[in-house]
Amino acid sequence: MVSTDLFDLTDKVAVLTGASKGMGKAMAEGLAEHGAKVMISSRKLDQCEAAAKEINEKCGEERVYAVSCNAGYKEQLQALVDATHDKLGLIDILICNAGVNPFYGSMSELPDEAFDKILSTNVKAVHWMCQMVAPDMVEKGAGTITVTASTGAFHPTEVLGAYNISKLADIALVRNLALELGPKGVRVNAICPGLIRTDFARALWDNPEAEKRANEQIPLRRLGVADDFKGIAVYLASEASAYMTGQAITLCGGSHMWS
């Protein structure tokens, strides 16, 4: 039998933002299935608790725990980190998946309030979480940070400019942290989803034209789904990716293979 130790996360402690549903939930499930103890968070505690219960039932034991956290607020992020320390101990794995996009339209019409919210939640909150969690990893001499960016970071758009700007900033943040933390044993990478069939992106895929484009233009001839992110989460958190850091990995069915 071939050993799967490369992907073994037994007793590793993970914390995720934006993980009550969709891609975040799928990534949390993947980590738990491979042995990690996982703290998930999102704004709505009831959704987090329901997700934790579902994953624990699949795993056959309690591996996933829930805390409410609005990633746009530094004090709530600190409370999430503190709760993880209290319940599970020092953190080995961080996945920053929370993101917002309150505006759809031209940059020339973008309100300051919306721009501030996008940058605060999508970029500044990632910076805050890394500041809070990296010391755990430095103390251990090992750890992994994964940030959800987007293939939108690689091209301009007439309607999602501020969101795409925030995701390109995330990639820049990942690269800088990879440089700073690499000598201390901490690896930092970004994942860049294409068009994924989740509630967050519903406005972009829930129409006949988008479905037609997916079936005709995406090399794999389908939209992505949340479960497509279980494997990459485990890979980046495990020894299987021991020599990978500072990368922006696209998961897009091939639609952005030249980005």
Q: Which residues are known catalytic residues? A: 163
Count of residues in the chain: 259
Strands 93-96 and 64-68: unpaired
Q: Give how far Cα 150 sits from Cα of 10, 122, 138, 154, Å.
A: 29, 11, 27, 8
| 134, 183 contact by CB (below 8 A) | no
Is residue 167 within a helix (H) or strand (E), and if so which, with residue range? helix 161-181
Radius of gyration over every alpha carbon of the chain, rounded to an integer in angstroms: 18
User: Residue 78, exposed/middle/buried by CB under 10 A (0-12, 13-18, 19+)?
Assistant: middle
Report which residue type is found at 100: V
Residue with the two structure tokens 């992020």: 77
Q: What's the CA gap between 170 and 236, in Å, rounded?
A: 17
Structure tokens at 181: 């933390």
Report which residue type is found at 216: E
Q: What's the CA gap between 9 and 19, in Å, rounded?
A: 18
Q: What's the CA gap between 81 and 45, in Å, rounded?
A: 16
Residue with the two structure tokens 């993101």: 99
Specify which residues 13 forms β-bridges with. 37
Tell me which residue of 66, 181, 68 sits closest to 130, measured CA to CA. Answer: 181
